[in-house]
Amino acid sequence: MRVTLQSLSSSIQSTLTELTARQAAQQMRLATGQRILHLSDAPTDMADIASFRSTISRMQRYSDTLDGALAEQETTSTALDAIGTTLADVRTLGTDALQIANQDKWSVFAQNVLSKIRDVIASANATHGDIFVFAGTKNTASALTTTPPEKDSTPYELVTTAPTPTNPSGLQVRFKGNTEPRYVQTGDASTEQVSTTADKVFGSGGTAVFDTLIALYNTLAFNADGTPRGDGQHPTPEQLDAVAALVKQIADATTVVNQAAADVGIRTERMTRQHDQLAEDITRQRDFLSQLSDTDVAEATMQLQRDQIAYEYSLKVGAKLLSISLFDFLQ
């Protein structure tokens, strides 16, 4: 086969171009850390990379959601602990009030109970960020509508209405939220209730506990005829029975609150486990993704080295081949 100057030079040129392109690609891989510089470099891997990225993003979403949900559980748990403690205090007050030595001090006990009612209300209005944790889905101030005598934009409010024979103080706790549960997506096919509804904590309608507490206050603060109890005034046997029954109801309510707190704890534990599992899965998926999309620095460096050597030798060989002909030896 005849070899001409043109065929020699075009062959050398094409080799040098190819080697330069390969070196540029390796340098780009090392500089960016990306193994795949163009979609066409690895079509199958690209599909897998897209899938991994999508999965990781989704898992990260669920993980972030769980982060937020866990923070809310903590707020809820703290509030429930406070409510449980306050109810236990009220039960102790009720029990103490039944003691013979204390039966002439019910008006003082009544004031203490009223103070505790206010404490329970404060805990019932606990917020996480800008939302009320026990208000269901009507959980922002702007969503809570007030009707007189209500004044503030909190889900629970102690108001005073007209006294009645059964409620001589006229005190009433109004609930302006609802008992709809709130859920968050924690997986492709799993949701988790993130809220603790008011009825699960405070009984029917979200106010039953308060009715009991106000009934206790009324019994302690008022005589059987509805007049305010003065110092030294003793309760009637019926009132003693009523307080005993109310103390029992408050004890039951405390159990319900503790049960709700336990539910939150179980939920928190479940969410934490799920969160940890997601963190592990994300790490694993990122590892797979890295194997596909990241540059193997050692391999890329070695390849670059090989390409550089090949390039240098191609230059040397090319220079030698192109520089001599028979003319160089003719006298």
220, 189 contact by CB (below 8 A): no
As a whole number of angstroms, the distance between CA 7 and CA 306 comes to 25
User: Minimum distance from CB of 289 to another protein (Å)?
Assistant: 12
Measured from the CB atom, the residue of 101 and 330 that comes closer to another protein is 330
User: Minimum distance from CB of 205 to another protein (Å)?
Assistant: 17
Which position has the token pair 């109801």? 249
User: Minimum distance from CB of 10 to another protein (Å)?
Assistant: 7
**Which residue(s) pair with 192 in the sheet?**
184
Which chain residues interact with another protein by CB under 8 A? 1-7, 10-11, 14, 34, 36-43, 46-47, 49-51, 53-54, 57-58, 60-62, 64-65, 68-69, 129-131, 135-140, 142-143, 145, 178, 180, 182-185, 188, 194-195, 293, 325-327, 330
Measured from the CB atom, the residue of 43 and 237 that comes closer to another protein is 43
Measured from the CB atom, the residue of 166 and 331 that comes closer to another protein is 331
As a whole number of angstroms, the distance between CA 171 and CA 160 comes to 5
User: Minimum distance from CB of 150 to another protein (Å)?
Assistant: 16
Secondary structure of the chain: what % helix, strand, coil (to 5)?
Answer: 70, 10, 25
From the number of C-beta atoms within 10 Å of its C-beta (0-12, 13-18, 19+), residue 303 rates as middle
CA atoms within 13 A on the CB side of 33: 3
Q: Both tokens of residue 131?
A: 């939302």
229, 106 contact by CB (below 8 A): yes
Measured from the CB atom, the residue of 166 and 327 that comes closer to another protein is 327
Measured from the CB atom, the residue of 66 and 97 that comes closer to another protein is 66
Cis status of the peptide bond prior to 149, with omega within 30 of 0: yes
Integer CA distances (angstroms), 118 to 85, 136, 262, 282, in order: 13, 21, 24, 46
User: Minimum distance from CB of 276 to another protein (Å)?
Assistant: 19
Measured from the CB atom, the residue of 193 and 227 that comes closer to another protein is 193
User: Minimum distance from CB of 123 to another protein (Å)?
Assistant: 19
